[in-house]
């Protein structure tokens, strides 16, 4: 299987992962709980992860910021080398790890507990160390990664990205965030130009 055939098979695997996520939201009140905590936060929403999850985390933090929720990303490795100084008690920290056992992410937990922040994890394993240590654990499931080796973060990273989009947009909707508000934070590019008119 090559080319378009391979691509369509890969996309179908990722779609299946999103279908499982869609179905699971009906049974899990954790999403609403996370949404409530994030909407009431007096500080910032900070996202942390490493690897491909880190790239997804940066996008989630950027989406939150542009849709009305002050947010930024901390690389988990940098966190234990001083960047945890950016975190304050009134913040919420979203921690992403597909396995829930990523050492660099877990290493943040003792300090985050001492600071007293609320932690939200996004992981496939609700029994993992990270999920069990978090105040709110958002978990997901999928049948396989979409690459031919079933190894590269593909299905899992897409699911995390969609969870982040869902949180950011649901928060924005909850806050009655308007086009004018969006333009305030996004005056540049074609989006900014279109909103100016």
pLDDT digits (tens, 9 = 90+) for 104-115: 999 999 999 999
DSSP 137: E
Overall average pLDDT of the 10-27 stretch? 93
User: Is residue 156 assigned to a domain?
Assistant: yes
Question: What is the C-alpha to C-alpha distance for residues 138 and 124, in angstroms, rounded to an integer?
Answer: 8
User: Is residue 180 assigned to a domain?
Assistant: yes
Count of domains forming the chain: 1
pTM of the model: 0.93
**The domain that contains 164 carries what CATH number?**
3.40.50.10490
Picking from 192, 189, 175, 161, the residue whose alpha carbon sits closest to that of residue 67 is: 175
pLDDT at 146: 96
What is the average pLDDT score of the chain?
A: 93
Overall average pLDDT of the 25-31 stretch? 83
């Amino acid at each position: 299987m090559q080319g378009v055939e391979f691509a369509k098979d890969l996309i179908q695997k990722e779609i299946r992962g999103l279908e499982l996520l869609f179905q699971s939201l009906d049974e899990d009140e954790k999403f609403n709980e996370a949404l409530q905590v994030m909407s009431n936060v007096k500080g910032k929403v900070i996202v942390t992860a490493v690897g491909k999850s880190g790239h997804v985390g940066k996008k989630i933090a950027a989406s939150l910021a542009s849709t009305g929720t002050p947010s930024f990303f901390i690389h988990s490795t940098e966190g234990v080398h001083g960047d945890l100084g950016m975190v304050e008690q009134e913040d919420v920290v979203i921690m992403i790890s597909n396995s829930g056992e990523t050492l660099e992410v877990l290493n943040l937990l003792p300090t985050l507990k001492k600071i007293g922040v609320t932690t939200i994890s996004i992981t496939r394993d609700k029994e993992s160390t990270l999920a069990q240590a978090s105040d709110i654990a958002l978990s997901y499931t999928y049948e396989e990664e979409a690459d031919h080796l079933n190894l590269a973060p593909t299905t899992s990273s897409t699911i995390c990205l969609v969870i982040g989009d869902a949180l950011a947009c649901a928060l924005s909707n909850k806050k009655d965030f308007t086009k004018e508000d969006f333009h305030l934070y996004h005056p540049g590019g074609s989006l900014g130009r279109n909103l100016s008119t």
